[in-house]
Each structure stands twice: as C-alpha cells, then as structure tokens.
Chain A
Amino acid sequence: MPTDAIQKDIAKLISRRLVFVMGKGGTGKTTLSSALAFAAQEAGKRVLLVETEEGTAIGRIFGKTDLDGMPVQVSMGISIARVKPKEEMTAYTQFHVKSGFIAKRITGSRLFDYLATATPGLKEIMSLGRLWRWESERLEDGRYIYDIIIVDSPATGHVLNLLRLPKTLINMIRTGPIVSQVKRLDALLKDTSRTALALVSLPEELPVKESVELMSIANDEINMPVQIFFLNGIYPDLSASCKPQSACDIVFSDTPGGLYDSVSNQRAMGAVLAAARHQHTWRGVHEKYIDHVNAMASCPVVEIPFFFTNDMTLHEIRRIAKNWHTPPEIQGGVPHA
C-alpha cells in the first residue's frame, strides 16, 4: 500500500474523538495505541491515551506505573490515564444511592465486588462512562480538553462484551438510571464520525481468524464497523533486493553447496544463510495472511513491520508513526547495530 494512502487513512482515523484499539493479547495493541498517539501529536492534537483495567502496559512504556483515573501528561500534547471500573462504580453508586450509609454498605460488601465483575456489562458501562466524561470535558474557551481519546482496549472477549453492551444492557436491565446513560453513550459509539474501531493482529493463523471474526461481529452485529486493520510484525521481503534473481535462488535454497565451498568460514556462512532463509520462509507465511486479510477486510489494511525485538522502545514506536508520514528508509525497520 502506498505511503500517501496510509497517511490519509491514519489522518482519517485520528480525526475521530474516540478510537478503540482492539486485538488479542500480545498482538501489539499497546504499541499501536502509542504510535497512534504520536501520530495525533504530530498532527497537533491533544491526546489522551488510556489503558484499561487488565493491562499496565501504557504506563510501563511511558515510565508511569501507578496510573489511575487522573490523566498525567507525559509528553507535549500526550496525557495518559487508566480506567478502573471498580472506582467508577463506587463513585456511581455513591451518586445514585441517596443514603450515604447504604451506599457505603453496598460498595463495601463482597456482593458488590461480585456484582461488579459478574453483572453483564456493568464493568464496561462504568469504563465507558469514564471515557465519555473525558470526551465531553471542555476548556474555559469551549474547546475540548482532549481532541482525541485513544483506548488500549482489553483482550478480545472483553471488547466483545463492551461492543455488545448497549444491546446486552437494554436486554438485561431494561429499567433504571443506567439505561438512559446507555442510550446517550450508544449515540456516541455508533457515530462513525466520532468513534472508530482499530483492529490489531499478527500475521498468524489464530490471531487472524479471531480478528476476522471480531470484524464481522463489529460490522454486522454491533454496527460499529472496523475502520482500520493493522497487521503487525510483518517480516521484510528479502527477495526485493535480489538482483539477479538467480543469486537469491541459491541463497534461499536448501542446498547452497557452492556457497559453502567458496568461503573459508563455513560455520559463519551457515549462520548467515540460516538467518536469511528463516526470514524468507516466514515472509512467505506472512504474505499468505496479508492476502487473506486484504480479501476479508472491508477497511484499509495497514502493515506494520517487525522490529526484531521483544521490547519496543518509545523511539521505535515513534518511528512507526513517522513511517506513516514518510516512507521507511529500509523496509522491515532498521536494526540497531
């Protein structure tokens, strides 16, 4: 996909007020959420980057481990915060139950703990309520405090609950103060000019399968179509530098006998060829899933190169955002020497 098309897609995505970044655990949601925050920052926006209950990864990346519902500024134009549903629910209960004594008894009881986790959608609605309040907060001059709120969403199953929330809640609860809140929230979530879903997946069978399922649920059942599909961790295409092709045919073949004969250090040659062959074969696997996702997705598919490390630094994450503006110097990310 050409860079200017990607640039346009990203620009459209970050023009929203609320972006949910979703995907299986370990697919790189936190990395992509942070990269989008940097992209929005570059575009001159005030960003709130939010982690949800189960992860602490955003805080870790930015060196703040004790995040709570109070946004902390970590960079010019970027603040981070964490949604704690239990806290939200306590505040909500205290607000709605007139008697302070009973409210305290409720929020202090184990039953309350149980209900907070077990009542379908309760946790999610509390989290959404928090996001919604952030979304509507304004400065004195009438501008929004945050131009965009990016949510590093919980793992897929929980996100499904969150997306199904309006329907589930209206079915389960039907009356009570929550329902009226749900309806207003619903309007924000279903408005594709204000809210967007971004999906992150790896080019592997199960993550792709799950993402495609999630996409069809979001598009068809919940009516919140996925706006962008990030395929993360794509291996570079080594054969792009193969001139002539025949040279690479030897390099990638299982029996590059002649190559061994022409060098003195055969062990080094073996190590180098093994590394190249590994990346070449996996690139083939990745291409298969890239094609599959492109065929299945009704939204733009953006490939994110693999950075050949297990822990991405802020510098590298920032580079993902930069690559959306300018073509990457070397496909596949540049290794640190």
Chain B
Amino acid sequence: MLETIGKPGGPRIVICCGSGGVGKTTLSAAIGLYGALSGLKTIVLTIDPARRLADVLGIGEFTDKARPVPLDSFDNVSGELHAMMLDAKRTFDHLIDRYAPKDMQPHIFSNRYYQHLSENMGGSHEYMAMEKLYEIHHQGQWDLIVLDTPPSRRALDFLDAPQRVMNLLGHPYFMKIVRPKSRVGKLGGRVFGLVMTPFLKAMSQVIGKTAMEDLVSFFSLFNDVLLDGFEKRARGVASLLSDSVTAFVAITTPRAYPLQEAGFFYRRLEERGMPFHGFIVNRVHQADSPADVDALFLELNDKKVLPPEVIRMLETSYKRFSRLAKSDKKVIDQFRNEIGAEIPILEISMENDEVADLESLYRIGRRIVGDEK
C-alpha cells in the first residue's frame, strides 16, 4: 500500500481515517517516517497526540507549531520529519480573523453560538482539520503531508464541501427562513427587527428565545461577512481531496466496532470517487498453528523439560492465543467478503510490545509500504 511514496507521481497527502484507539496516530507517524527516510520533507498532523508517541519521536510534546523529529539515529537521511498537533478552535478563530472585517470580529467571537460551535460542536473539529491541511499544502514547503483525522464519522463531512460546510454551520435552511426578516445591527451584533412568524415563534418555544436570537444573529453575521470566503475555501479543500495527489487509507483493528467504522469511511469515500488506497488492519494476532502441538506438550511432560505447572501455563496461554488469532482471522475474512476482494487489506501483526523507538516505527512504515528488505 502507498508503494509510490517517495517516487515520482507518488502521493503528496496521505489521510488516515479510522475510529479512536486503533493506533491511527502511530501508523500515521510510521508512514511519515517512511516518507522522511525516503528523502521527503514530511509533516505529520495529528489531533489526538499520545504522550508516548511524542517520546518515541523525541519531540517532547506535540504543539500546534511544527516540531522537527531528530533522525540522527538513521544513516544518510536526506528528508525531514516534522510533527504538529491540530488545534481546532484556534484554526477556526484564525479563519474568522482572515475573512471577517475587523470591526465585526468581536461580535462573532463573543457570540455564544460561535463559542459553542468552535469549541465543541460536532463537525467543526473535522472541518478545521481539513482547513489546516489545505493551508499547509498551499504553503508549498512540504513534499508529504500525513493527516491523522479526528476519530469520528464526521471526519468525512467535508467531502460534500462546500454545501456540507454550509450545512455544518446550519446555514442554508436557516437563512431561507430568517434572512428576509432580519437585519444585523452593525453596532450591537444582535438582531434588530426579527419578525417572529408563527413558525419562528413556535420554534423558539421549543428551543428557547435566547438561543433562537443567538442563532439568528450568528447566521446573519456569517452570511454578511464570511460566506464568500468560506465557500471559496471549502471548494478548494474539496478539490484538493479528490485530486490524485491525495491518498486515503482507513485504519482499523480486527474488532467489530473499528471495522464497522472503517467500512463506513470506505463507503463514503467510494460514493464520492475519492482516491481510496485500502485498509490497514492493525494489531492482528497471528499464531503459528503447527499440527502437532499436542504432541509437543506430551513430550515436554514426558521428558520433564519444565515443571508441570509451567507446562500447563504454556498450554493454556497457547490455546488462548490461538483462539484469539482464529477470532481475528474470522472477523478479517468476514470483512474482506463484505468489502470485496479488489480492495487492498493489509494486516499489521500485533507487536510484542508498545512501539518504543524510531526503528520499530520505521519497520511498521516499511511493512505498510511493502518495502521489507
């Protein structure tokens, strides 16, 4: 998978989708490291940075500024690896800063709806991840960008951009109803003369009058000062994502929940003709099952090679592990049937320990790319 990284015509952007806790950040870093060691100037963007991974990378901690990963433990490195954390709220504020006239900005920043939206409303983090990706890509200083997406289904909402972004902000439906009846006061940033139609009146009975006013003033501000900039931007993001410089991969483990999420990502990408490169199933337990293990235990007992308790322990642990390996294989086979044989599904076997150093990270990167000399 991603065999062309570091070769002419290879991907410039790799987007890793998947639910949380499957090792997405680690695999993103492994892909990034592989890119760097293939001579590319690489940056890994992550949303959910693990302390331990920061240690492995030797960067102290992830921050919203790109930090270089020291690669001195490798010989003849011509590329670079940088790591950076995404800060959704700050990116959102940055956008307002860019597109809204200076005198309107305080009204937007102080709008309770904006505050809620930019801090924790579903979808805004995901959109901001894409926004940041677009910005960084257009800085033009990176050969390879690896993006570790937020772990939610909404991570792909931007695919319907620009409509989706507008929907995300609730814009079109709202404006249709509210627009002709409201005007934004330039001074207070609040709504003047909102004519309450029976519809709006009833609606505010349901959600409350204050919430209604906040919504209306946010969308009115949005419409007046931000719409053009946002739309243009969203269209740019959408076309970048469907371009062949971009490669999507879905990361999962052999468990029901993450597989279901990976399947969901794949179908959404497929529907929109996005460049999907395949699935990586991480943490697969692979047991060697020789036919005559039972004979081995008999032999160990006969020859008293080990104390009986220890032999029993070995037998139990082997049975358990085989059971797990069988269970892993079963769910992956099921998944393969569901998805179809033509889509690559790469298995990464469960390491014997947590990833502890750059060498093991590089090994995983080589395994993903199929470069295991």
Contacts and interface: CB of A to CB of B under 8 A. Distances in A.
- Asked if A and B bind, the verdict is yes
A255 B373 CA distance: 24
Interface string B186-212: 000000000000110011111111110
Contacts of A250: 306
6 contacts: A99-B198, A114-B170, A115-B207, A161-B120, A178-B208, A268-B293
A296 interface: no
Contacts of B321: 275, 278-279, 308
A117 B169 CA distance: 11
A271 B19 contact: no
Contact of A309 (B121, B315, B327): B327
Interface string B310-331: 1011111111111110011011
A326 to B, nearest CB: 20
Interface stretch (B132-140, B349-357, B359-367): B349-357
Contact of B318 (A25, A244, A271): A271
Contact of A26 (B19, B122, B174): B19
A106 B288 contact: no
Interface stretch (B8-16, B36-44, B255-263): B255-263
B309 interface: yes
Given A26-B255, A173-B211, A241 B202 contact: no
Q: Is the interface of A mostly helix, strand, loop or mixed?
A: helix
Interface residues of B, number: 80
Contacts of B292: 265, 268
Interface stretch (A32-40, A67-75, A205-213, A219-227): A205-213
A335 B299 contact: no
Contacts of A310: 254-256, 324, 327-328, 330-331
Q: Is the interface of B mostly helix, strand, loop or mixed?
A: helix
Listed from nearest, the 10 A-B pairs whose CB atoms lie closest are A173-B208, A176-B208, A275-B321, A271-B288, A268-B296, A26-B257, A308-B324, A241-B313, A111-B173, A308-B320
B310 A247 contact: yes
Interface in A85-118: 92-93, 96-97, 99, 102-103, 105-106, 109-111, 114-115, 117-118
Given A173-B211, A310-B327, A204 B21 contact: yes
B306 A247 contact: yes
A179 B207 CA distance: 10
Contacts of B58: none
A337 B322 CA distance: 10
Interface stretch (B47-55, B84-92, B231-239, B267-275): B47-55
A251 B19 CA distance: 36
A141 interface: no
Interface string A260-282: 00111101111111111111011
A119 B211 contact: yes
